[in-house]
Amino acid sequence: MYSDANRWEQLILSHMSNLRILDIQYDNIIIDNHNGNQVISNTPIDNFTSSFWIKRRIIPLKQLTKLVVESNPLPLTKLIELLRCTPHIHTLVLKSMSLYGVNYNSIQQNQSFQLVSNTNTITNVTCNGECTLEKLQILVALFSRIQHLTTKLYANNLESCVRFLLEKTNQNTNHLCLLSLLSAYKIWYTRLRTLIESETLLDDYMLKMIDWNLYLWWQH
């Protein structure tokens, strides 16, 4: 039943006309006749790409490429669970993220964290809530392929956070080339330029203030 696309079509037409996202995890349990062990295999469900699904814009989570999470705040553990179900996301937008009960060093030993970190292909991350240095450390460890980061920073953490992101020894930011700081103060332009020049953090870069947002582009 669960992998039968035709039966799902009838069910949706009859009872769930407003459905837009369908997530099915299907495990097929097979008994090994040689030793009696149970073997669980994940059976691909390829029949959910017919015109019925396309016309109604109903897609499995595994086909999503952009994820916008409005939950406020979203616990990191819940985010990791969600990302395990959406392996093809390349753009992630978070209203805010909670690190309650999470330690930077210990979370990196978590198997789910390691799995998502090694397999996700997210390159564009927006976190509309204020980021601390610890939150940035976790974000770039989780999204090591990140190219564009949009976030807010606290004024007293500006230099330490930007320094961390631009460190040449930081393997998790090798692909990062655009930092967008939302709701920035105009004095931050001078503070960032002074930081970059005095510590030679970047050779080829552009810093620009547009309205109340500060943008930093650079080449590796």
DSSP string across 143-203 = -TT--EEEEEE-GGGHHHHHHHHH-TT-GGGSS--EEEETT--THHHHHHHHHHHHTT--S
Please indicate whether residue 100 or residue 24 has the higher confidence score (pLDDT). 100
Read off the pLDDT of each residue in 115-134 and give the average, rounded to a whole number. 95
Q: How far apart are CA 20 and CA 107, in angstroms?
A: 33
Q: How far apart are CA 77 and CA 62, in angstroms?
A: 19
Q: How far apart are CA 35 and CA 38, in angstroms?
A: 9
Query: Is the per-residue pLDDT at 29 higher than 50?
Result: no
Report pLDDT digits (tens) over 56-72: 666 777 888 999 888 77
Give the pLDDT of residue 57: 63
CA distance to 19, 59, 136, per residue, from 141 (Å) = 34, 29, 8
Please indicate whether residue 41 or residue 8 has the higher confidence score (pLDDT). 8
Q: Which residue bears the tokens 């397999």? A: 119
Q: How far apart are CA 96 and CA 131, in angstroms?
A: 9
Q: Strand 21-22 relative to strand 91-94: parallel, antiparallel, unpaired?
A: unpaired
Report pLDDT digits (tens) over 135-191: 999 999 999 999 999 999 999 999 999 999 999 999 999 999 999 999 999 999 999
Query: Is the per-residue pLDDT at 47 higher than 90?
Result: no
Read off the pLDDT of each residue in 68-97 and give the average, rounded to a whole number. 89
What are the start and end residues of each CATH 3.80.10 domain in the chain? Answer: 61-218
CA distance to 96, 164, 166, per residue, from 199 (Å) = 31, 12, 11
Assess contact for 68 and 21: CB atoms under 8 A. Answer: no
Give the pLDDT of residue 205: 97
Q: Model pTM?
A: 0.78
Q: Which residue bears the tokens 């490429």? A: 65
Query: Is the per-residue pLDDT at 196 higher than 70?
Result: yes
Report pLDDT digits (tens) over 101-112: 888 888 888 999
Assess contact for 178 and 137: CB atoms under 8 A. Answer: no
Give the pLDDT of residue 46: 57
Name the percent of the chain lying above pLDDT 70.
81
Residue type, 47: N
Report the alpha-carbon angle 99-105-110, nearest 5: 80
Report the alpha-carbon angle 200-201-204, nearest 5: 90
Beta strand residue intervals within the chain, DSSP E: 21-22, 27-31, 38-42, 59-60, 66-69, 74-75, 91-94, 97-98, 124-131, 148-153, 178-181, 205-210, 213-218
Query: Is the per-residue pLDDT at 98 higher than 80?
Result: yes
Q: How far apart are CA 63 and CA 43, in angstroms?
A: 16
61-218 belongs to CATH 3.30.190 = no
The counts of H helices and E strands in the chain are 8, 13
Give the pLDDT of residue 58: 65
